[in-house]
Amino acid sequence: MTTRSETQTTLDHLLTEIEHRNPAQPEFHQAAHEVLETLAPVVAARPEYAEPGLIERLVEPERQVIFRVPWQDDQGRVRVNRGFRVEFNSALGPYKGGLRFHPSVNLGVIKFLGFEQIFKNALTGLGIGGGKGGSDFDPHGRSDAEVMRFCQSFMTELYRHIGEHTDVPAGDIGVGGREIGYLFGQYRRITNRWEAGVLTGKGQGWGGSLIRPEATGYGNVLFAAAMLRERGEDLEGQTAVVSGSGNVAIYTIEKLTALGANAITCSDSSGYVVDEKGIDLDLLKQIKEVERGRVDAYAERRGASARFVPGGRVWEVPADLALPSATQNELDEADAEALIRNGVKAVSEGANMPTTPEAVHLLQKAGVAFGPGKAANAGGVAVSALEMAQNHARTSWTATRVEEELTHIMNDIHTTCHETAERYGAPGDYVTGANIAGFERVADAMLAQGVI
Ligand code: GLU
């Protein structure tokens, strides 16, 4: 029987090797550290997990595709972007995970997202493997026609790697209903197949699921509510700071408001808005979803209750709850200190890895309930899996049914993380609970399926 500290030493060696073999991928290193640093208790307790090669296989993607994406802008100039699809692990089902279109995208970013996705998808219990893709293409300021030509070019390569039983992409930052529409159209044209289940996040009326656009944000609020319930509290009357102003942020604010909380902020890369009366969602949706504008326009049009703070971060605004819903590493040590100083009770991650490791540590040390993204934001991919189920059965469910399933899944993930953390000697530590519970499901399937 190996002890926990011997196991941790082995895992630390592996982490050094990961850094060595994957140079210049800091986000992937960070994601691998975050998981491997919590696995010692389970690997020490269950010798089958210490089998040589198991964790080494888990940190190596099954397949990585990188391709050229040439397209023409509205002036007829040829542009070249880079496309990625990292098919990380398919032990539990077809690779599943979004596509991110953002100038910051590179292989390390896609690998961190794909790695997270393995455990997140396992936690949903819905039989989906982990993958992620995207491009360094920046849709901001591009016309619809340019976005369409880019998506068509992207899919002209991607189509050969995906399929409803193989790999099922969806949206992420920069990829919403518009992009999924163009991608789906090109897939259908090239393959001459109506294969609804090849992409999720489709439009209603052509295979999309009700509640899919809302699912990540709604799910995160349900997870935060479950963490509060555990502490004998609820959302009613709590003030919440939310970062971001995309799909996740918008539906986080919507659900918080519906459950009686007051969501007072949103943000983008130019700064943030604080609105003491609570964010007016109709106005925010009009600016972000219809006009594709910036959040300062919100403050201009909202009137006296709102102000725009250029360059600032929402975490300096006092609140009971914080729901980071923008992007990775957007909440650092100084932000965590500010939140703690202002008495924050819970932080729940709507984005993927928005909180730096140092900030997570500080929050947990201060007794703040911390919901890691791979558990708290799993509602999006969970409803994607429900969209696949509906596509397969050629049916569509009511919004009520999908939302009931989502609520059930989020509560189940919360319970699983909570109980697992307790079982492995880390009560209240949802990071450890999520990592171990996700790991157990994937590792068991990998062990059963042999060395592949
Ligand atoms: N991009 C989302 C995530 O980070 C959703 C992925 C999906 O629906 O496949 O989980």
Indicate whether 227 and 347 sit together in one domain: yes
Q: How many whole angstroms from 83 Cα to the centroid of ligand 1?
A: 17
Average pLDDT score over the chain: 97
- Give the count of domains, the chain: 3
Indicate whether 111 and 8 sit together in one domain: no
Indicate whether 273 and 316 sit together in one domain: yes
Mean pLDDT of 353-368: 98
Residue 385 beta carbon below 6 angstroms from any ligand 1 atom:
no
Report the pLDDT value the prediction gives residue 52, as an integer from 0 to 100: 87
Indicate whether 96 and 123 sit together in one domain: yes
Q: What's the predicted TM-score (pTM) here? A: 0.98
When pLDDT is cut at 50, 70 and 90, the band that residue 436 belongs to is: very high
The yes-or-no verdict on residue 316 having pLDDT over 80 is: yes
Residue 203 lies in a domain: no
Cβ neighbours of 305 (radius 10 Å): 14
Report the pLDDT value the prediction gives residue 108, as an integer from 0 to 100: 98
Report the pLDDT value the prediction gives residue 51, as an integer from 0 to 100: 87
Indicate whether 236 and 355 sit together in one domain: yes
Mean pLDDT of 136-162: 98
Report the pLDDT value the prediction gives residue 121, as an integer from 0 to 100: 98
Residue 86 belongs to a domain with what CATH number?
A: 3.40.50.10860
Report the pLDDT value the prediction gives residue 132, as an integer from 0 to 100: 98
Residue 75 lies in a domain: yes
Contact 265, 274 (CB under 8 A): yes
When pLDDT is cut at 50, 70 and 90, the band that residue 3 belongs to is: confident
Mean pLDDT of 320-336: 98
Report the pLDDT value the prediction gives residue 169, as an integer from 0 to 100: 99
Residue 11 lies in a domain: yes
Residue 450 lies in a domain: no
Residue among 132, 216, 327 to mutate when testing ligand 1 (max atoms within 8 A of CB)? 216
Report the pLDDT value the prediction gives residue 282, as an integer from 0 to 100: 97
Ligand 1 atom at shortest distance from the alpha carbon of 99: 1
d(CA 369, CA 137): 36
Contact 254, 242 (CB under 8 A): no
Indicate whether 223 and 372 sit together in one domain: yes
The yes-or-no verdict on residue 236 having pLDDT over 70 is: yes
The yes-or-no verdict on residue 262 having pLDDT over 80 is: yes
Indicate whether 231 and 339 sit together in one domain: yes
Indicate whether 251 and 351 sit together in one domain: yes
Q: How many whole angstroms from 62 Cα to the centroid of ligand 1?
A: 19
Mean pLDDT of 324-330: 98
Residue 119 lies in a domain: yes
Rg (CA), the chain: 21
Residue 370 lies in a domain: yes
Indicate whether 177 and 254 sit together in one domain: no
d(CA 307, CA 309): 7
Report the pLDDT value the prediction gives residue 4, as an integer from 0 to 100: 84
Residue among 384, 387, 391, 409 to mutate when testing ligand 1 (max atoms within 8 A of CB)? 384
Residue pLDDT, tens place only, 199-233: 999 999 999 999 999 999 999 999 999 999 999 99
Indicate whether 243 and 354 sit together in one domain: yes
Residue 354 beta carbon below 6 angstroms from any ligand 1 atom:
no
412 class by beta-carbon count within 10 Å (0-12 exposed, 13-18 middle, 19+ buried) = middle
Residue pLDDT, tens place only, 300-309: 999 999 999 9
Residue 336 belongs to a domain with what CATH number?
A: 3.40.50.720
Q: Which residues are catalytic?
A: 132
The range of the structural domain enclosing residue 335 comes to: 215-376
Indicate whether 52 and 72 sit together in one domain: no
When pLDDT is cut at 50, 70 and 90, the band that residue 1 belongs to is: low
